[in-house]
Structure 1
Amino acid sequence: MTSFTPLSRRAFMAGSTGLLALASFRPAWAQSASPGSKGSASLAGPNINLTIERRDFQIDGRSGSAVTINGSVPGPLLRLREGGNARLTVTNLLDEDTSIHWHGLILPFQMDGVPGLSFPGIAPGASFTYEFPVRQSGTYWYHSHSGLQEPVGHYAPMIIDPEGPDPIASDREHVIVLSDWTFANIEHVVNRLKQGGGFYNHAKPSLTDPLPLDTASRAMFNRMRMDPTDIADVGAPELIYLVNGHSPAENWTGLFAPGERVRLRVINAASMTIFNFRIPGLPLTVVAADGLPVRPVEVDELQIGNGETYDLIVTPRDPAYSMVAEGIDRSGMAVATLATAPGLRAPVPPLRQRPVLTMRDMGMDHSSHGAPAGPAAASDPHAGMDHGSHGGAMPIVPAADPHAAHTGHGGSPPPAPPPMQDRSTVDFPTGPGVDMIASMPVDRTGDPGLGLDDQPHRVLTYRQLAALEPNRDRRVPQREIVIHLTGNMERYMWSMDGETLSPATEPYRFTLNERVRLRLVNDTMMTHPMHLHGHWFEVVNGQDGHLPLKHTVRVLPGSYVDLNLTADAPGDWAFHCHLLVHMHMGMMRVVKIRPLTGEGQ
Structure 2
Amino acid sequence: MQAFNLSRRRVITGTAALAAYAGLPMPGWAKGKSLAHARNGFGEVSGEDIRLSIGDAHFTTGGRSGHAFAVNGTVPGPLLRLREGQDLRIHVTNNLSEDSSIHWHGLLLPFQFDGVPGVSFPGIRPGQTFTYEFPVRQNGTYWWHSHSGLQEQAGHYGPIVIESAEPDPRYDRDYVVLLSEFTPIHPHEIMRKLKVGEHYFNRQMQTATDGDMPGAERRMWGEMRMNPRDVSDVTGSTYTYLINGHGPAENLEYLFAAGERVRLRIINGSAMTFFNVRIPGVPMTVIAADGIDVDEVTVDEFQIGTAETYDVIVRPPAGSHALVAEAMDRSGMGIASLTSHQGHRATPPALRETPTLTMVDMGMMDHSAHGGGGMGGMEHDMRDTSQLPEDVEVGPGIDMVAPMPMDRMDFPGLGLDTVDHRVLRYTDLKAKRMNPHRAIEREMEIHLTGNMERYMWSFDGKKFSAVTDDPIRFGYDERVRVKLVNQTMMAHPIHLHGHFFELVNGVDPMHQPLKHTVVVQPGGTATFDLTANEPGDWAFHCHLLYHMHAGMMQVVTVRPFPAGEGV
TM over 0.5: yes
> Does 2:517 match 1:552?
yes
Instruction: Give a deviation string over 1:194-218, Cα, whole Å, max 9, x none.
Output: 001112121221222133x433332
Distance 1:430 1:327 in 2: 33
Distance 2:296 2:176 in 1: 19
Distance 1:547 1:573 in 2: 23
Distance 1:590 1:353 in 2: 39
| Matched residue, 1:494 | 457
Tell me how far 1:180 sits from its aligned partner: 0.7
Q: Is the 8 A contact 1:217 1:358 kept in 2?
A: no
2:443 counterpart letter in structure 1: E
Among candidates 397, 400, 406, match of residue 433 of structure 1: 397
> Does 2:504 match 1:543?
no
Q: 1:163 to 1:394 in 2, by over 3 A?
A: same
| Matched residue, 1:387 | 380
The normalised TM-score by structure 2 is 0.89
Among candidates 503, 517, 525, match of residue 489 of structure 2: 525
Q: Is the 8 A contact 1:511 1:596 kept in 2?
A: no
| Matched residue, 1:181 | 182
Distance 1:160 1:23 in 2: 29
Q: Is the 8 A contact 1:180 1:240 kept in 2?
A: yes
3-state SS of the aligned residue for 1:125? coil
Q: State how 1:14-93 maps to structure 2 within 5 Å.
A: 25-27=39-41, 30=42, 42-60=44-62, 62-93=64-95
Distance 1:206 1:477 in 2: 48
> Does 2:508 match 1:508?
no
Distance 1:527 1:381 in 2: 27
Q: Is the 8 A contact 1:364 1:381 kept in 2?
A: no
3-state SS of the aligned residue for 2:193? helix
3-state SS of the aligned residue for 1:193? helix
Distance 2:561 2:153 in 1: 40
Distance 1:368 1:26 in 2: 53
Q: 1:24 to 1:64 in 2, by over 3 A?
A: closer
Q: Is the 8 A contact 2:220 2:375 kept in 1?
A: no
Instruction: Give a deviation string over 1:52-105, Cα, whole Å, max 9, x none.
Output: 001111212543211011010111111111111110000010001100000000
Q: 1:78 to 1:596 in 2, by over 3 A?
A: closer
| Matched residue, 1:573 | 538
Q: Is the 8 A contact 1:477 1:515 kept in 2?
A: yes
| Matched residue, 1:373 | none
Instruction: Give a deviation string over 1:398-436, Cα, whole Å, max 9, x none.
Output: xxxxxxxxxxxxxxxxxxxxxxxxxx6543112111011
Instruction: Give a deviation string over 1:223-282, Cα, whole Å, max 9, x none.
Output: 111111010001012111000001101121110001100000000000010100000010
Q: Is the 8 A contact 2:489 2:523 kept in 1?
A: yes
Tell me how far 1:317 sits from its aligned partner: 1.0
| Matched residue, 1:450 | 414
Tell me how far 1:457 sits from its aligned partner: 0.4
Distance 2:558 2:368 in 1: 37
1:133 counterpart letter in structure 2: P
Q: 1:560 to 1:578 in 2, by over 3 A?
A: same
Q: Is the 8 A contact 1:294 1:548 kept in 2?
A: yes
> Does 2:547 match 1:582?
yes
Q: Is the 8 A contact 1:521 1:559 kept in 2?
A: yes
Q: CA RMSD in A?
A: 2.2
Tell me whether 359-368 or 562-571 shows the greater mean CA deviation.
359-368
Distance 1:587 1:381 in 2: 34
Q: Is the 8 A contact 2:37 2:59 kept in 1?
A: no
Instruction: Give a deviation string over 1:101-143, Cα, whole Å, max 9, x none.
Output: 0000011000000001100000000000000011100000001
3-state SS of the aligned residue for 2:120? coil
| Matched residue, 1:151 | 153
2:392 counterpart letter in structure 1: F
Distance 1:554 1:189 in 2: 23
Q: Is the 8 A contact 2:220 2:379 kept in 1?
A: no
> What is the total number of aligned residue pairs between the two structures?
525
Distance 2:511 2:487 in 1: 29
> Does 2:200 match 1:203?
no
Distance 1:443 1:161 in 2: 35
Q: Is the 8 A contact 1:434 1:498 kept in 2?
A: yes
> Does 2:240 match 1:240?
yes
Tell me how far 1:537 sits from its aligned partner: 1.2
Q: 1:312 to 1:380 in 2, by over 3 A?
A: farther
Distance 2:453 2:392 in 1: 20
Instruction: Give a deviation string over 1:366-412, Cα, whole Å, max 9, x none.
Output: 3899xxxxxxxxx96869969358xx64443xxxxxxxxxxxxxxxx
| Matched residue, 1:109 | 111
Distance 2:320 2:68 in 1: 32
3-state SS of the aligned residue for 1:529? strand
3-state SS of the aligned residue for 1:348? coil
2:453 counterpart letter in structure 1: E
Q: Which has the higher helix share?
A: 2
3-state SS of the aligned residue for 2:233? coil
- Percent of matched pairs sharing the same residue: 55
3-state SS of the aligned residue for 1:129? strand
Distance 1:249 1:448 in 2: 29
| Matched residue, 2:194 | 193
Distance 2:402 2:137 in 1: 39
Distance 2:421 2:67 in 1: 40
| Matched residue, 2:435 | 471
| Matched residue, 1:275 | 275
Distance 1:543 1:243 in 2: 33
1:484 counterpart letter in structure 2: H
Tell me how far 1:347 sits from its aligned partner: 2.0
Distance 1:541 1:463 in 2: 5
| Matched residue, 2:307 | 307
Distance 2:331 2:64 in 1: 21
3-state SS of the aligned residue for 2:418? coil
Distance 2:214 2:378 in 1: 16
Q: 1:318 to 1:64 in 2, by over 3 A?
A: same
> Does 2:106 match 1:133?
no
3-state SS of the aligned residue for 1:282? coil
Q: 1:586 to 1:257 in 2, by over 3 A?
A: same
Tell me how far 1:310 sits from its aligned partner: 0.3
Tell me how far 1:221 sits from its aligned partner: 1.3
Instruction: Give a deviation string over 1:460-503, Cα, whole Å, max 9, x none.
Output: 0000000100112x212111110001101111111110011126
